[in-house]
Amino acid sequence: MKLNYKRTFFIGFAFLSICAFWQLYDSIVPLILKNTFKIGDTVAGAVMAADNVMALFLLPLFGALSDKVKTPIGKRMPFIIGGTAMAVVFMILLPVSDNKVNLPMFIIALFLTLVAMGTYRSPAVALMPDLTPKPLRSKANAIINLMGAVGGMVSLVLISFLVKKVDKPNYLPLFACIAALMVLAVVILIFTVNENKLLHTIEGLDREEPKNEEEKTTSESSKLPKDVFRSLAFILVSISFWFMAYNAVTTAFSKYAQDFLKLEGGGFAGKMLLATAAAIITYIPSGLIASKIGRKKTIMLGILLMFVCFSLAFTYTEYKPSMNILLVFIGVGWALINVNSYPMVVEMSKGSDIGKYTGYYYTFSMAAQILTPILSGALLEFVGYRTLFPYAAVFMALAFLTMTAVRHGDSKPVPPKDKLTMPDGLD
């Protein structure tokens, strides 16, 4: 069975659009809150967490709704097109309200933008497993993650060119460029991916693919068998644990680097870039490794690698060049986990439930990202900065333990057969 890289690349434009927006959101909205509206860090942090809180409700809801929709353009495309259209309209109001120094307008526009983004994130992510045969989803997810990274990088480049060092920058050109990028990405998706046609083809391949008794039971029943449900529960808990660990480090590393490691100014950014670059380079190899040894083993390798790195990082009381090696391997470990975890979750779903299971994945990851800054922040404030990496190591150890109980979602390699081969010209 052969992955159609060209088609997967085009499917990835939906995720590119999403990641371009979130990089803009994370980079610029805190500056607007601080510099324009003079909002303190605590309240600003609560505002910035609003997207994760809303995601707990919106992502499962719209993921499940998209499972049930049937239209001439597909079941995911209406949400992707409609959500993008609403998002680009509302997000333009953010710099407008910033220029007018109108806080009520800004808050309303921010709320509407986050709702719009929440309506199509799960459907957009679910498009990949919809249109990819099960054994190939880890490889395909690596391509999707790369496309998302491209979207984030484009936003960063535009920010560097369009945000000038003045007392009151005008963010409208920047937001307009990102909005145009989002529209362009979705237009490319519409004209290159025929969702209904491809879905019919993939469903035919999955029916022809040999199934064991366990897979037959799962697909024929409306309710998951107890052993599959147990695996789903354990991997969702595992997802929460490793996001608790990773997000704690990424959220606090700038303060940790300056106050504890004594890195001056923005020196921490270059260190974080090492982990990001290592993850990007590892995305595609992560899918290839999983196709050889399995998703579960690949994920557990990533967890073990990050646990060792977090444990060793605890021994540093000041920055040393050798710490760069740990940061690189943290990025590698994160890629091994991130590329394979989502395919494991949707592997346990029926084809008609992929959107709902995508919502489950994001519910547990978002819940962790709401909780962990509070828990780790309290330890940093009341116990000390040396607690950061032990905190992360503990949650990685818990993730390793819970992953040992996962018995499903690890797609088995399928021998090549003519009827299962995906021709490059299919779409």
DSSP labels, 243-291: HHHHHHHHHHHHHHHHHTS---TTHHHHHHHHHHHHHHHHHHHHHHHHH
Half-sphere exposure of 381 (CA within 13 A, CB side): 6
**Domain check: are 384 and 305 in the same one?**
yes
- Tens digits of residue pLDDT in 25-83: 877 887 788 788 988 766 766 777 777 788 888 888 888 899 888 899 999 999 999 99
Last residue of a domain, one of 210, 241, 263: 210
In a domain, 416, yes or no: no
In a domain, 427, yes or no: no
Res 426: pLDDT? 31
**With contact defined as beta carbons under 8 Å apart, do 313 and 326 qualify?**
yes
Same domain, 250 and 185: no
Structural domain count, the chain: 2
pLDDT of residue 106: 95
Which of 188, 210, 232 terminates a domain? The answer is: 210
Q: Could you tell me the maximum CA-CA distance found in the chain, to the nearest angstrom?
A: 66
Same domain, 200 and 303: no
Asked if residue 229 lies in contact with residue 239, where contact means CB atoms within 8 angstroms, the answer is no
Question: How buried is 230 (Cβ within 10 angstroms: 0-12 exposed, 13-18 middle, 19+ buried)?
Answer: middle
Let me know whether 10 and 131 are in one domain. yes
**Ranges of residues in the chain whose predicted pLDDT is under 50:** 212-215, 217-221, 265-266, 414-427
Which residue range forms the structural domain that includes residue 265? 217-411
Say if residue 144 is in the same domain as residue 48: yes
**Residue 13 domain-assigned?**
yes
Q: Is residue 309 part of a domain?
A: yes
Q: Are residues 62 and 161 in the same domain?
A: yes
What's the one-letter identity of residue 422?
M
Does 421 fall in a domain? no
Enter the tokens of residue 288: 């290839």
Domain-located, residue 423:
no
Looking at the structure, tell me whether residues 252 and 184 fall in a common domain.
Answer: no
Q: Judge if 25 and 138 occupy the same domain.
A: yes
Contact assessment for residue 276 and residue 152, using Cβ atoms and an 8 Å cutoff: no
Q: Quick one: 94 and 194 in the same domain?
A: yes
Helices (H), 103-225: 103-130, 137-162, 172-192, 195-208, 213-220
> What pLDDT score was predicted for residue 335?
92
Last residue of a domain, one of 177, 194, 210: 210
- Same domain for 237 and 175, yes or no, is no
CATH number, position 91:
1.20.1250.20
**What backbone torsions phi and psi does residue 39 show, to the nearest 5 degrees?**
-90, 135
Task: Write down the pLDDT at residue 427.
Answer: 33
Q: Tell the residue number behind the tokens 């081969």, with chain if given.
A: 421
Domain contains 332: yes
Same domain, 233 and 195: no
Determine, yes or no, domain membership for 417: no
Q: Where are the alpha helices (DSSP H) in 32-76?
A: 41-48, 50-68
- Give the Cα-Cα-Cα angle 99, 18, 341 (nearest 5 degrees): 140
Contacts of 405 (CB under 8 A, 6+ apart): 230, 231, 234
Same domain, 256 and 345: yes
The pLDDT of residue 415 is: 47
